[in-house]
Each structure stands twice: as C-alpha cells, then as structure tokens.
Structure 1
C-alpha cells in the first residue's frame, strides 16, 4: 500500500511516524522496536513531545513525514504482503513510476539483468536513487553500448536486499537542492531497517501459472544492541534466483501475431485466389488497401508471422536479382514462374520450401520461413547474492558513530540472443568477404558439402549457383551475460550540541562505492568465417579449407564450415569461427558530506530551522572491450575503450520558517510555513550550477493544506557522455530535401527555403532526383567535454486534506509542470538532418556550416550526397511533462473486526513530449501506448486476528499506439483500457511463524488484444517467515 508523506494537523503530525510503524506491525510483530502504541486524543493546542527526523528532500529535522514536495511511501508491509524480493516490483506499483530498464526483455550486451526505475517517463537517469539519504554507486557502464535507459549514474534496484528495507520514500520533483544532480523527476530514498532487533529468516518460492519463471529466495536478518544499549548492529543476507522466460513459452507469441502492410488491391491481383478472408489476417472483413483516405488500414494484424526470406537451415534462392518477385512480396524462386523454392532441413537435405502467404518485405503468414519469436527472450535469468550491514555506537551522550557495509554479486544471462545472419534481407555477401557482411552468400552447386542428392536436384533445375539465405542460431551460443560485483562502505559521525537554548544536529560521513562488471558473450570471427566457408577437397576427397580463394588467409587451424542445414557444422569448425569475449567495466564513487541543522530563532509559528553543509563527490569510470571487440574482428564496428572522471564541490543551505501559530485561532490562518533551499554545484567539467527550491505550505484550517514549490534542478553529463572516444557507426541518413520530404517537417516553409539554398550550393544536386542513399553511411559518434548540465525548471501545486474529525482519512492532489532544457543526447542522423534544415537559424551563405547541425554532415562538394556524419553527444532537445497525481487513504478501525486500510493512487499525465530543439513543436506522447492518460491503483488490506489479507486493482486507460496513428494508418491503432488484480494473504501460524501467499495478475490478463502489457501473466509467490526471539 502507499503511505502519503503529506502534512496534516498537529496531532496527525505527532502520530505520523508511529502510524508508519503501526502499519507494518502485523507483519513484524516480533520486532521490539515496532510494538504498536495507542495514542490518547489530544487537542491541536496540546504540546506533544515528538521524535524528530530528517525526511526525504530535506536536511532539517522535523516531526513526522511533513514534506513540501509531493511524496508517497512503499511500506515494509507492502513489500512483505506481495513477496517482493526485488525492489523494482515494489516501487513500480506507484503509478507514474516505471522500470526504465528492467531484466524483462532483451537488453544491451553490456548490462543484462539490471533494474533501473524511472518517473513520469522522463528517463531513469533523471530519477535519483538513495539509500538512507546517501548516494549509491552506479551499475551503468561508461559506454554508449550500456544497459539502456540513457547514460547516467543510475542505481540498480537489484543491489539492495529487500529484507533490509524498512520503506521506500518516493519524492516527486524536489531533491536537487538537497542532494544535487539527477533529481529532476524526483528521488527514491530507500530507508533501511537499521534499528531491527532479533532474528528473522524467510524462505520463498514463486512461479507463473505457466510453470516457468521459477524463483527461489532465502533471506535472513539479525539485529541486536550491545554495550548497555550504546551500540546497535544489523546484518542481513539475501539470495534470490529467478529463471528467465522466452517468447515461445507464451501462447500469444506462439500464435505469431504481427503487424504488416496491408497489400493493395492492385498488387493482390498477382494472386487471383487470394482474399482477405484467407490470407492470414486476423480480421478477414478488412479489405485490401485502395489508397490514401479510403478508410482502410494501411497495416493489418496477421497471425503465424514468418520471415519467408530466410530459414535457420538456409533458404536456396537464385544467385542474382531481388529477393521478391512482385509487389505482394512473393519470394523470388526458380523455374519459369520463379516460384520453385528449396531449403536445407535439420538433416542437411534439400527439401521443398513453403513460402506461406506473402506480405511486404519478405514477411508471410504461415509457411516454412523463419519464426522470429523463436529468438526473442522476455526475461533474463538472474541470480543475486547480497550482504548488508549497518551499525552505530554512542561514544558519548551526544556523539554517535555509524556505518553501512554492503556487498552485492549477481549473474544475469539473456536466455536467447541475436542470431548470426547471412540473409537476402541484409543484401548480398561474397565468399571473399566483400559486399554486405550479413548478406546472403552465393555458393556453387559443386560445393563439396552438398550431397549427391542435393546436386542432382540443383542440376535437374539448371541451377549452377545459388544464394543461401540463413539465420544462424547454431554457429555459437551467443547468450550475453553480466557478472556484477558492487561494494559500498559508509562511515560517519553524527550528534547534537546546544548553543544557549538552541539545539543543533550535525553529521559528517564518507561514502565509497565500487562496481566491477564483466560482460561475457560469444562472437563470430569474420575472417575465420570467410576462411571456413571457402572449401575444396584434398587428394583423398577430404573437405578442407581453401586458402587460395580471394579474401582468405592461410591458417593451419582452419576447419571447413558446413552451412547447408542447421547443426551440420562440426564442433571443430564452430570453435574456429567463434570466440568468447569478455569486456570489463568499473565504476567508482566517493562522497564526503558534512551538514549541520537546528533552530536559529523563534518566529510566531515556531522555531526558524535551518540547515547548511558541504559535499564533495567524485565519479570515476572505465570500460575496456575485449581485443575482439576493440579490433572489430566480428561484423560490428570496433568498440572503443572509455575512461574518465569528474568531481563536484557543493555547498547547500535550507531554511524553514513557520510564520503563524495555530494557537492564535486566527480564521483562515492556521499555519503558514515558508521553505527555501539552495545548492551551488561546481562540476569540474560541466561548470557551476545553482539549484534551488522555494515553496509554501499553508493551512487555512487544521487538516487542510495548500502547498506549492518552484524548483530548478540539474542533471550533469555522465562519463560515457563526456569521454566516449570516437566510435565508428553506420547510419541511415535521411534527406529531407528529396521530393518526397521537402514539404514536410514541423515548418514546411522553412524547410523548403533552406533546401533551395542547399541546391544552389551543390550544383550537381538535382531537386528532381535527389534521394536518400540506399546503403548505410559510415560515420562516428563520440562524447564531448563541452557538454553543459541539463537544466530543469519545475513547479508543483497541490492540496492535502486530513481532517481531525475523520480520523484516518488522507487526501492529496498535486499538479506538476516540468520543462528540461539542454537535454543531453547522442543526436540521431534524423535529429541532425532535421536540425539542419528545419530551423530559421540557417546561414544560406555557408550551407555546409549553416548551423551547428549542418556542420556535422560531410557532403560531396558537387552532388551534395552525405559521405560522413558525426553524431557526438550534445545539448539540444527539450523535454516537457505536465500532469496530476492524486492520493486517497483511509484507515478504518473496525474494533473487534480488525483494521481495514483503503488506498487509492492516481497518475494522470496531461502532456509529455520532446522537441529536437527550441524552434520546433513538442512531439506529444501523453495518451500514447507508453504513457496512458489515466493510471490508477486501488488497494484494500484487512488485518484481523491471525489473518492479514488484501487485494489491489491496477488500471490503465485506453491509449493510442503513437499519437500520430489513425484508423487509416493501422488496424488497432489504439489499445483498450486494461485492469489487473493482485491479491495477498498472510496467516500467523504461531507468534514466531507466518506464511504468506501473493498472486500478481490474478486474472492472467496479458493486455488488450493484440498488445502485450504483462507477458508473464499470473504469478505466485509463497514465503515462510520465522522470527527468533
């Protein structure tokens, strides 16, 4: 369940901290530190002695969870009720918080298995994750080929054992003046159980209703005081192992649903017997396409999708020509009608090939073509091991030492990975290594590996050479995996002192973290591959490598490779053409922090509180590819090493001024607090930045609060963005000045004017024939130490209602407005071309360097054809978010019938968009597939006697696939609303033992057809906890 962090009446504030613990008490009854206490009723005027604490987003000690910025809490009880062994599952139950990167689905090769959280769809690198209010070392490798989710210093939520977590405080928007960089969308602060007493062991087992994704977990926590209560130590350990899942383990993917171009009525005449009712489309009532604005979708959903232009064992096709023979996409074959096709089966025999019912681009419904879903992973294997310890010791009555130590190790493995392709869809390759490296290879019909039976079939059909179109999953076990080791230590002192009648709290700490990462995989050695596929026979008839062929190299270790049929290659040949790769990365973080806070003088509403401090932070990182990757011995461009570091010196201050005293009983002026926060960040590379927040909390009457703040925050460039050395890459460069595109763009008149200047500058460029090049262009990308900080200007306004006359009721609603300028991005080729031509900032007298975007493209001085492009990291795009959140919570004491908690959390984005630069309109995303305009969660949790049970409902509204889609562009251009249900039940067997069963997605609803929102479906988790007294 969610626990809001908003302010309430004096009595509510006094009880705020206690209620958080009471909520968790039924699940932790053996903890001495969390015994439920009942408070006596009190007037708002009655002085109450309160425990004081810091809350997320502030360094001022105050009573209860009283925050200026909107915030919510995931409680310990919620984590236990739903059997969360991974914190990403707990925090993403808050609508608006998502897994920006998760172990579900295929990830980049450098970072399998990580879980990064994101908020408001603004990226995981703009949500700061803390542990006990302190930074945690990142799991993002400093390379552009990292884990995804954007370069940054994201924290892997896997690394913190759930058994050690008391709660997660999720603060929205605020945090930058208190914590520094990256807190643009908010802060997730993981609060630890550092005062736990006793011992607790938990065993867990879970799986889906499909009997896969098995999870085994074990955890233990021990805490005790010592030295007559002056010291305290907590030690926890956790082991969690979860099996991965592949697409074909789900019926939806086994059905092979896919969106394909709807054939035109004119093209359909090439297949006289073809009808919409028999060509594999889901809805046979949709006719063939007849043209624009005909009300017929340009794309339709089909079942049993296959890629008819390749197979796993190899498709035999004519040696020359295109790979399709008509507008319908029928595969080019042999014979008078070009429709005779063969493939090599798993036994290496040549058999007839059924191409299925053709669709554009070599796709088909049915037939023997490649089933791409056989190569798609849904979730990675993940094994996690962690140890965490906290401790403190009171050296004197007002000086305490403390520490945190943690070690996290993990092994994540993608269950499937990308095949090695030599297929006509990627062009044509030559046996000498020329052409498109991943294109189809042309072989002679006399190749020694071909059987006599195969040669006869070829000869009977007049075939002397042929192309082999193949998707090779048998050349290597190319499962990318990541081995992670994170070590972190915190040492510090804190305490208090008095000056006169004023009390002050102080703290000084040093945090150091280190991450070591090994990224393992298997790669195809291209030169060895060329050596091994060029074969001949020796005098004895034995097949050997032929080093006399062009493009080959003499190598005594070469073993001939048989590609004619899946699994026909020898083990020796496979070993020769492949190699294991190990890339390494290291991240290091050191933070030195010192702060002091306390009351300075009295104001009418209470003591003016202030905090101030200093922080020094150093971030370092390195990435070292394997020799194979560095030299580009495969088919990819060479991967470059990267190394860099930066440091910051930061000073911060905060003031909280209560201006009105509730005891005055002034109508409409129950409480008025003003808050101001400031932080000066001096980054050794990105320069200085001022982050600030100022805001107001106003209560016209007790229990009704109006709050609002304005914040300026930042995200500093990461090591990968700063220090990536020039990295070669291939780009498909669009040309907006072609006839098809010259009247498009966000401002067609500006584009046309700039294109006219372009044609004037390049005399060989004909406006009537100028086109995008059909092949990719080799360019490069690199980091830049000229990068500036991302700058976010945000404001929030909200209302909080927690009336004393309805005990247990909590209501809050808040509006957010966030605009991020100077967004750091690796500009795409499309960004650069549109940035060049779609802006008024265009120097027509110097077209090659008309603006900073144009200068990144090198063109032929006569024809204007792009010959090179540089896509370095830069500041440019603008991000924007506006929307609402709403919370309602009610705790109902049912006396002898127990306690019922009812909670609601709503997230309603109004706008979320991106613009390539300030001169073009935002591309709206709110209301799209990834950002539905309404996302709600309801929960009900009932505790009575030995039972604790609850249900939760998750709702997302109808959404378009993209905001530009229409009924004309695609079938099912929207998805319907979607609701799932979760449930949990806990039974206390004895005072020490309890068993919990949770079910996620009770209805096994994967999403509105034909979209998949929860591929795992229904899943169970059972756990047994035992608490030792």
Structure 2
C-alpha cells in the first residue's frame, strides 16, 4: 500500500500535540472512570435548560427525542460493537442508505477514495450531511470528471473520525426548512462526543478471510473540565490505514464469469464441432439462440472471459479488414482460412495465439486473449489521519462560548487502473498519429525491433505488414491517487435569557472550512509516443527515433519504444512517453448563523414554542488541471479549468403548537402538536426559493402516535454545474430514426411522424440504410448560470407505537412520497436524441431546430448524419420515490440475566423512477438490481456481566437486473434473495480495558450467483480499548 512519509505531514504536529494530551490524561482526569456524554450539573453556571434538547430537523428545544420526521439512529455502542472506523460502514447498515460514491470499484480520476452517503437511491447530492447540526466543507471538486461528477457539495464520510462520534441521526425528508439546500431525501446529522471526560485509547486490526484488505487503526480521545468546571475541552486523534484489493484476489473474478451474446444457431453452424456443452457457457443446457421469441436467452453467462482481439504483449493481425471474420466473432487471422494468429510473449518472441471459443465483439471463453479482470480494482488503498477538538467556556451564568476545530488528511490510491490501448476494438491508428489514437497500429515486417526469428515467421507466411493489437499496461498504468487536506473551524456563542416568565435560547456561530486536493496520475504523451514508435537504425545499426517520418517532431530526448512483447520497452523510452500529472482543486465554505428560540405564549396543550434566525452561506471552488491535461497532450480531450462561487442569504422560522395536554385525560385526544417551518433561500445565482414543512403529531391514546408532514425542498446547482467552461467530450450518438428503432420509444406514432419529417428535410438520408455512426463523435458540454434550483415536493405519513404497558417497545412505520422536478443534469446523447424525436413539440417546418433538444445536434445538411452534439447542464428530468420504512425496537430487561436489545429496520421501496422530460413516462427502477423491493436488518445484542455480544442479519429480496429484462433477454435476468450475518463480542477485561471482535459477513457470501454484492466477503476486526482513570 502506498504510504507517504508521515513525518512530512503538517498533521503530524497536531497528532503529536494530541498524544501529549492523552499521555497526560491520567494526571489530568479527575473522574474515577470515563463518562460518555457527561450530563452537566444543574447549577447556575449552566447556560441552557438541559432537560430539553434540539433534535435533528428542528431548532426548537423540546423534551426528549421526538421528531416529526422519521429518523433512524446509529448509536455509539453500535459503532464500537462492529469496530467501525469509517462512518460510511455504520451508515450503510441502515436499509435505504447506500454509498452513492465510494472507495470501492473504479475511482474517479479526480477524487479517489471518497465515501459519499445516499438515501432512497436519489443520489448523494440530495442527502445533506451535518456535524453537530452545522454544515461541513465538501470534498467534491468543481469538475465534471470528479467524484460525483461535480454535481453537489457532498461531505466525505472519511473526514469525521469515528472516535469523536456519539451517534448519527439519519432524518428522512423534512430538513430543508431547518438547514436549507440539499436536504431532499434527508439529513445525516453527526453528533459529537463533546462532553466526554477522561481519556481513552483504542488499537484495532482487521483483515478479510482471504488475508487481504488489512486495516490498522489507532485512536485516542481526551476530555476534561477546567476553570472550576466553567470550561470543557475534548481532543481526539485517529489514524486508519486500509489496503486495497484487486479483482483477481477473489475466486469469482479469477473464474472470469461474464455475460455475452448467445450465438445464433445459424452462426454456430459455421463451427461444426461447437456445442452449448463445450463453448464455455456455464449452463450447457441452454441452446443456441433461434429467434426473438423462442424462450432462449439472448445473452448467456460464460466462464474464463477473454478479449480475443488484444493481449498485453500484442496480437498480430492482418493489416487491413475487420477484426472479426464471421458472425460468431472469430478473430481475423492469416492463411487461407484466416485463422492463423500469433502474439508477442513476455520475452518479445512471436508465438502462436489461441483465440479461445469466440463470442460476439471479439470476446471469447478461454484462450490467450486479454483478461480484463487483471486491470480491475475492488477497493482503493486508503490512509486517513485526523484530529478533532471541541470545547466550551461559560463566560457568565447565561453566556457560553464554544468551538470546533478539525484537520483531516488522507491519501487514496487506486491499486489498478485502465491501461493505454492500441487495439483493433477501438479502430485503427497510424504511425503518423492519424486515425483513432487508441486503435491498432500497423507496422512493417522490417521494423528494427523485430528479431530475425520473428521476421522469418512473418516472411514464411507472406506477411509484409501487420496490425499490432495491444493493451499496454507496461507503458502507463494511471493508478490515480488523491491527497486530501480538510481544515474546519467553528466559533460561536450561545445562552439563554428570560422575558418575564418566558425563557429563550439563542446561538450565533461562524463556520469556515477549506479543502485542498491534489489529484495525481500518470499519462501517456501522445506526441512523444508517435515520435518513439517511428524508428530506424543509424550507421552502427543502433535503433533510434526517426524524426523524418510524417507526424513526428524532432526531439533530442526521444528514445525508441519497443511494443513487441510486454515489458520489452526500455526504462528510458517509458520515461519519455509518459508523465506524472498533478491537478489541484480547492473548496471553501463559510457559514454565519444566528437563531433564537423559546416559548411565546400558552396554548391549551402547553407553551407555543417558536424559533427564528438568519444564515449567510458562501461556497467557493476552483479546479486547475495540469498543463498536460489542459492542453490535451494525451489521448483524452483537453480538461478545462473551472472556478466559481455563490452565496445565499437565508431567513427561517419554526413554530410548534401543542393543542391538547396529555394531563387532561380526554379520550381520543391525548396529544396533538402542529408544526410549521419556513425558510426563504436567496441564492446569488439560482434565485429565491421558499422551503417549508407543515405537519402533525397526534396521539389518540398514550403511546400511539400518528405523524405526517408535507415538505417543499430544494437542491441548488453546484459550482461545476454552474461554471464548467465548454468542455470537449466524445459521445456515442444514437439514432432513433434508424430502421431498427423508428417503431420504438414511449410513443411510437409520434417518433415515426417526426422521423418522417426528418427524412424529408435531409434528402441524402435513406430510411432503409440510415444508421448510428460506428465511432464516437466529438462534442462538448458546459455548465450554465441559467440553472434553476431542483424542487422537491414530498409528504410522509406514519405511525409510532410505544405503549407504556410494554416498557422498552417502540414500533414505527412510515410512508414516503417524493417528487423532484427541474432535476439538474448534463443531458446524455440518448436524452437529447429521444427528447428531439419522442415529443409532440416538434416543428416539422424547421427540423434542425424542431425543439430545444434538436438544436443541440449539428448534422450534415445532406445526409443528416450527426457531426457534433452539445450537452450543457440544464433543468429537466424528473425523479420520484415512493416507499415504506419500518422499525421495531425492544429492550428486554432480563434481571440477573442481563439486558437483551432486539431491533428490526425495514426499507421497502414501491416506486423509484426517472423521466427525461414530461412527455416520457418514468422508467421504473424499484425491484431492480440496485433497488430491491425489500431490504431488512435484524439485530440482537445481549449484555450480561463482563460480556456484550450480538448478531445481525441483513436481507435483500429477489430483484431483476433491470425492470425491462425478461427470460428472453438474458440468462439469470433476476438475482435471488440474499442474506448475510454479522456478529460481535466484547469482553471487559477490567473496569478500564475491553477487547472487541467483530465479523462482517460471517458466511463469506458474496451474493447469489452470478452476481457479486459483497466482493470483500468475510472480514474481521479486533480492537483493544483502554480507559484511563
């Protein structure tokens, strides 16, 4: 695992300071034992009424933990029981919460290793994350190529050290009037251990059952009163290192399972010896495909998938022609039957090539082709270092000052990444730099790098030139990495005052956060590559670069590059054709907030409470690519810099009106509370918006509550969405007017009518031959300051049952309905083409500009072929979610047999969909692979004496791969239900020392075959925690 020198980190100074404090803890701590969330003494020094508290989603102080909106809580105990050193692991155990962007799988080039939470599948940019009720600076760089596509101001869950967390309150839906933008699906509020006393150190070690993904963690926390208990300070530090894992470290990927097109019976007849039982498919009972409605899957799963059209050392193919020679996808070779093939091995020798059993598109089962899984990462290396401190001081009996300070540094690195390609699958390239840059190169059989043995083989077969199809992992493996530095400070005052007999709480604070990010990678310099592959010999026979060839430039630093065999290139040549890149980004956030709350007057059911306040927020961001990226010196389009800012001025108010008093003992009217919340958001770019919530909590009898709310919320456009300058990009532009597609779409009659107008407008477009272009088309995308806020209208309705006659029982069930309009998106090429032709809003008299979508495509005036496309950010698509959550909790006091906690949480989406525009129906996703219709978690935790142990079960229901799949479209078009088990045990060795062991995925079940839901499998975490007295 890549680990920079820790001594060079500025964070080491802070960590050292924290260690000094912890080391001094035994002398400084005055308590007999560590106390969690110490209750402050009820004295005249206490500046707030501590029998009352604010809850997530409200600024009104109230008794107990009572929310209008449904909420789930991740407790400190749960974090400790399962050894969670990363909060994303704890959060995603809540059904319905997922890692919208994570450190698993391929990473964004600008933002490796981040973990953003998402809720209800609505995107990480629509779930607001707070720390102690305040915003946290984002880790999303303002570029469309970054983590999350730059479409939000998400908070990296890596950045908050778990040692500082008391609990996480995950609120659903109604947070926008209280906190502002982004709280559409909900709010995750991370509550800190800011009243901790004593000192605690924890050491942890974990790994998987495959002896990889090793994790080392260390944390320390110290808290104490000072100045005669008028002040309190908490300091914590945490280190966490986790090794990455690659695909081939798992047996499933070593088996090379892959879904491929089932050959037709007619094509299979060209291989007389081929049978379904011997062609690599995992189920030999499935016959070859005979037609569109034959009940035979169009796609089948095979094992040992290879890409037969390339190798790491280079596949030798004929200089001209397609790369396949028949409908089965057999690779084009030499000789009378075009089936003779060679490849360069790791020694640079030309040897025979086994293409395996062919499938469409150059794929194969078995053989010597490229194993793509050799380039696939499962999870990135991640090293995290953080310090966090909170404190408060009572200046007077009713005024308290407080602060939060944090510093987070991290290094994340992809263990593998995509290679540089020069392969026939991408087309053909020329030695002068023409053609498709990533296509196969054509070389002469007299190339100086070819050995005499190789030249003889080529000559004996009449080969004077050939294409070399290669995946060049030996030239430039990008291995993107991200170095993160986040700094945040909160300073504030709070207190209380009285007006007559009424008490009021107030608070004013300033929050400032800054993120600095370095994105490191390796890139191939295309011009140097062209210089280096054009070679000749000098008078002494030494191979040199040939600057006289077309497309080359004279460069004294050029070193000839040998592509014939993996690792045959010299170190000097590799250094010449590649370069290290460093792009930089910066994010800044400043929030000024002031609020006051208290009781205004008495109602029949109690005091009418209200809160009001003002907030000013400023978001800034910049992204600066390296010169290599900005100039497009590689094979990607030039990457543009971006910079922008916006600010908001926001006023908010909230009222809680209790109409009935439980003490009245009126049948059917035990309690009735009405809540109204409002927030006016004035965004300097997106304009003004009114967010609101109104709701009811009604208890006909004690212990039975009916609750519901209606909410209007927003998501403001991000800096990348607003300020991305015109960015070149390649697009695969579909054509819905082709013969295969003209009768499709949401309204086939409308599409056909519009396509007929299209053919009339372009006389060179033949309806019988008009097709999508086989290669990508250069276009562009850009942000827009004309963007409006996303708007969401939501409502919830639920029931809470906590009867007094069953102490410890709580049951809750809630229904959600969320509709999001004006969704901000960079329209895809498919969105634009369908938006052009699949709507009645189509001006047939001006087809190139028939509507706003058609105007984004430039076409050849005769043939109608798309020559470019523009995909700026805009408002348009719609999202919707409807579904249930259910929660059951029961704490059972077993007297001398301890305490047993039983909990259940269920998430049951009924509908989740998306539509490109109002004329297109929603595409249903509920019930699909990524959104199963039932997701449950059961837990049982038993504490007795020195022991604390528990188990948990996680269940997801059967789901289709996509909702449009059928048994005709693919084998295993669904995946079966899936259940995993977790376990934990803690033993208290002494009053001060505890040891914990947790096991995630006890059964090592990666998912129902052939789908992988948990690639890491079984993993262990052991920790030793010591509390200093």
Q: State the number of aligned residues.
A: 1029
Contact 2:47–2:399 (Cα < 8 Å) also in 1: no
- Residue 767 of structure 1 deviates from its aligned partner by 2.1
Residues 149 and 73 (structure 1 numbering): CA distance in 2 closer, same or farther, change over 3 Å?
farther
- Residue 49 of structure 1 deviates from its aligned partner by 9.6
* In structure 2, C-alpha distance between the alignment counterparts of 1:158 and 1:9, rounded to whole Å: 18
Q: Match for residue 26 of structure 2?
A: 26
Contact 1:55–1:65 (Cα < 8 Å) also in 2: yes
Contact 2:6–2:12 (Cα < 8 Å) also in 1: no
- Residue 8 of structure 1 deviates from its aligned partner by 53
Q: Match for residue 818 of structure 1?
A: 818
Render the CA deviation track for 1:984-1026: whole Å, top value 9, x for unaligned.
0000000000000000000000000000000000000000000
Contact 1:531–1:558 (Cα < 8 Å) also in 2: yes
* In structure 1, C-alpha distance between the alignment counterparts of 2:776 and 2:926, rounded to whole Å: 33
Residues 599 and 926 (structure 1 numbering): CA distance in 2 closer, same or farther, change over 3 Å?
same
Structure 2: any 5+ residue segments left out of the alignment?
A: none
* In structure 2, C-alpha distance between the alignment counterparts of 1:844 and 1:896, rounded to whole Å: 82
* In structure 2, C-alpha distance between the alignment counterparts of 1:208 and 1:870, rounded to whole Å: 46
Residues 553 and 48 (structure 1 numbering): CA distance in 2 closer, same or farther, change over 3 Å?
closer
Residue range with higher mean Cα deviation, 552-561 or 23-32: 23-32
Q: Match for residue 303 of structure 1?
A: 303
Residues 930 and 6 (structure 1 numbering): CA distance in 2 closer, same or farther, change over 3 Å?
farther
Contact 1:5–1:72 (Cα < 8 Å) also in 2: no
* In structure 1, C-alpha distance between the alignment counterparts of 2:883 and 2:997, rounded to whole Å: 36
Contact 1:31–1:196 (Cα < 8 Å) also in 2: no
Q: Match for residue 217 of structure 1?
A: 217
- Residue 34 of structure 1 deviates from its aligned partner by 8.2
Contact 1:13–1:63 (Cα < 8 Å) also in 2: no
* In structure 1, C-alpha distance between the alignment counterparts of 2:474 and 2:851, rounded to whole Å: 49
Contact 2:394–2:401 (Cα < 8 Å) also in 1: yes
* In structure 2, C-alpha distance between the alignment counterparts of 1:28 and 1:358, rounded to whole Å: 73
Q: Match for residue 494 of structure 1?
A: 494
* In structure 2, C-alpha distance between the alignment counterparts of 1:482 and 1:28, rounded to whole Å: 39
Which secondary structure state, in structure 1, belongs to the residue aligned with residue 3 of structure 2?
strand
Residues 464 and 814 (structure 1 numbering): CA distance in 2 closer, same or farther, change over 3 Å?
same
Residues 958 and 187 (structure 1 numbering): CA distance in 2 closer, same or farther, change over 3 Å?
same
| Correspondences of 1:350-499 after superposition (within 5 Å) | 350-499=350-499
Residues 703 and 46 (structure 1 numbering): CA distance in 2 closer, same or farther, change over 3 Å?
farther
Residues 566 and 360 (structure 1 numbering): CA distance in 2 closer, same or farther, change over 3 Å?
same
- Residue 12 of structure 1 deviates from its aligned partner by 46
- Residue 865 of structure 1 deviates from its aligned partner by 1.7
Residues 623 and 494 (structure 1 numbering): CA distance in 2 closer, same or farther, change over 3 Å?
same
Residues 43 and 921 (structure 1 numbering): CA distance in 2 closer, same or farther, change over 3 Å?
farther
Which secondary structure state, in structure 1, belongs to the residue aligned with residue 454 of structure 2?
helix
Contact 2:592–2:616 (Cα < 8 Å) also in 1: yes
Which secondary structure state, in structure 1, belongs to the residue aligned with residue 844 of structure 2?
coil
Contact 1:27–1:80 (Cα < 8 Å) also in 2: no
- Residue 35 of structure 1 deviates from its aligned partner by 6.3
Render the CA deviation track for 1:662-714: whole Å, top value 9, x for unaligned.
11111000000000000000000000000000000000000000000000000
- Residue 46 of structure 1 deviates from its aligned partner by 25
* In structure 1, C-alpha distance between the alignment counterparts of 2:653 and 2:30, rounded to whole Å: 40
Residues 167 and 949 (structure 1 numbering): CA distance in 2 closer, same or farther, change over 3 Å?
same
* In structure 2, C-alpha distance between the alignment counterparts of 1:344 and 1:423, rounded to whole Å: 14
Render the CA deviation track for 1:192-240: whole Å, top value 9, x for unaligned.
0000000000000000000000000000000000001100000000000
* In structure 1, C-alpha distance between the alignment counterparts of 2:35 and 2:801, rounded to whole Å: 28
Contact 1:306–1:372 (Cα < 8 Å) also in 2: yes
* In structure 2, C-alpha distance between the alignment counterparts of 1:163 and 1:396, rounded to whole Å: 31
- Residue 4 of structure 1 deviates from its aligned partner by 42
Contact 1:2–1:74 (Cα < 8 Å) also in 2: no
Which secondary structure state, in structure 1, belongs to the residue aligned with residue 150 of structure 2?
coil
Which secondary structure state, in structure 2, belongs to the residue aligned with residue 138 of structure 1?
coil
Contact 1:685–1:785 (Cα < 8 Å) also in 2: yes
Residues 414 and 3 (structure 1 numbering): CA distance in 2 closer, same or farther, change over 3 Å?
closer
Q: Match for residue 104 of structure 1?
A: 104
Contact 1:7–1:800 (Cα < 8 Å) also in 2: no
- Residue 502 of structure 1 deviates from its aligned partner by 0.2
Residues 4 and 254 (structure 1 numbering): CA distance in 2 closer, same or farther, change over 3 Å?
closer
- Residue 473 of structure 1 deviates from its aligned partner by 0.4
After TM superposition, which residue ranges in structure 1, 4 or more long, deviate above 4 angstroms? 1-50
* In structure 2, C-alpha distance between the alignment counterparts of 1:532 and 1:13, rounded to whole Å: 47
Which secondary structure state, in structure 2, belongs to the residue aligned with residue 478 of structure 1?
coil
Contact 1:7–1:65 (Cα < 8 Å) also in 2: no
Residues 348 and 502 (structure 1 numbering): CA distance in 2 closer, same or farther, change over 3 Å?
same
- Residue 472 of structure 1 deviates from its aligned partner by 0.4
- Residue 754 of structure 1 deviates from its aligned partner by 1.4
Which secondary structure state, in structure 1, belongs to the residue aligned with residue 660 of structure 2?
coil
Render the CA deviation track for 1:621-680: whole Å, top value 9, x for unaligned.
000000000000000000000000000000000000000011111100000000000000
Contact 1:523–1:634 (Cα < 8 Å) also in 2: yes
Contact 2:204–2:1023 (Cα < 8 Å) also in 1: yes
Render the CA deviation track for 1:731-770: whole Å, top value 9, x for unaligned.
1111111111111100111111111222222232222222
Residues 802 and 27 (structure 1 numbering): CA distance in 2 closer, same or farther, change over 3 Å?
farther
- Residue 916 of structure 1 deviates from its aligned partner by 0.3
Structure 1: any 5+ residue segments left out of the alignment?
A: none
Residue range with higher mean Cα deviation, 835-844 or 428-437: 835-844
Render the CA deviation track for 1:374-409: whole Å, top value 9, x for unaligned.
000000000000000000000000000000000000
Residues 47 and 124 (structure 1 numbering): CA distance in 2 closer, same or farther, change over 3 Å?
closer
- Residue 505 of structure 1 deviates from its aligned partner by 0.3
Render the CA deviation track for 1:763-784: whole Å, top value 9, x for unaligned.
3222222221222211100000
* In structure 2, C-alpha distance between the alignment counterparts of 1:662 and 1:464, rounded to whole Å: 95
- Residue 477 of structure 1 deviates from its aligned partner by 3.7
Residues 69 and 23 (structure 1 numbering): CA distance in 2 closer, same or farther, change over 3 Å?
farther
Contact 1:503–1:599 (Cα < 8 Å) also in 2: yes
Render the CA deviation track for 1:597-630: whole Å, top value 9, x for unaligned.
0000000111000000000000000000000000
* In structure 1, C-alpha distance between the alignment counterparts of 2:805 and 2:710, rounded to whole Å: 32
Residues 572 and 646 (structure 1 numbering): CA distance in 2 closer, same or farther, change over 3 Å?
same
Which secondary structure state, in structure 2, belongs to the residue aligned with residue 39 of structure 1?
coil
Residue range with higher mean Cα deviation, 49-58 or 409-418: 49-58
* In structure 2, C-alpha distance between the alignment counterparts of 1:870 and 1:393, rounded to whole Å: 57
Residue range with higher mean Cα deviation, 853-862 or 218-227: 853-862
Which secondary structure state, in structure 2, belongs to the residue aligned with residue 4 of structure 1?
coil
Which secondary structure state, in structure 2, belongs to the residue aligned with residue 751 of structure 1?
helix
Which secondary structure state, in structure 2, belongs to the residue aligned with residue 32 of structure 1?
coil
Render the CA deviation track for 1:941-988: whole Å, top value 9, x for unaligned.
000000000000000000000000000000000000000000000000
Contact 1:152–1:717 (Cα < 8 Å) also in 2: yes
* In structure 1, C-alpha distance between the alignment counterparts of 2:937 and 2:247, rounded to whole Å: 28
Contact 1:3–1:74 (Cα < 8 Å) also in 2: no
Residue range with higher mean Cα deviation, 144-153 or 677-686: 144-153
Contact 1:28–1:34 (Cα < 8 Å) also in 2: no
* In structure 2, C-alpha distance between the alignment counterparts of 1:368 and 1:967, rounded to whole Å: 32
- Residue 47 of structure 1 deviates from its aligned partner by 22
Contact 1:17–1:64 (Cα < 8 Å) also in 2: no
Residues 972 and 28 (structure 1 numbering): CA distance in 2 closer, same or farther, change over 3 Å?
farther
Contact 1:877–1:915 (Cα < 8 Å) also in 2: yes
Which secondary structure state, in structure 1, belongs to the residue aligned with residue 79 of structure 2?
helix
- Residue 454 of structure 1 deviates from its aligned partner by 0.4
| Superposition TM-score, scaled by structure 1 size | 0.96
* In structure 2, C-alpha distance between the alignment counterparts of 1:649 and 1:860, rounded to whole Å: 48
Mapped pair 1:1024 → 2:1003: no
Q: Match for residue 644 of structure 1?
A: 644
| Superposition TM-score, scaled by structure 2 size | 0.96
- Residue 303 of structure 1 deviates from its aligned partner by 0.3
- Residue 148 of structure 1 deviates from its aligned partner by 2.6
CA RMSD in angstroms comes to 6.5
Render the CA deviation track for 1:54-82: whole Å, top value 9, x for unaligned.
10000000111100000010000000000
Q: Match for residue 517 of structure 1?
A: 517
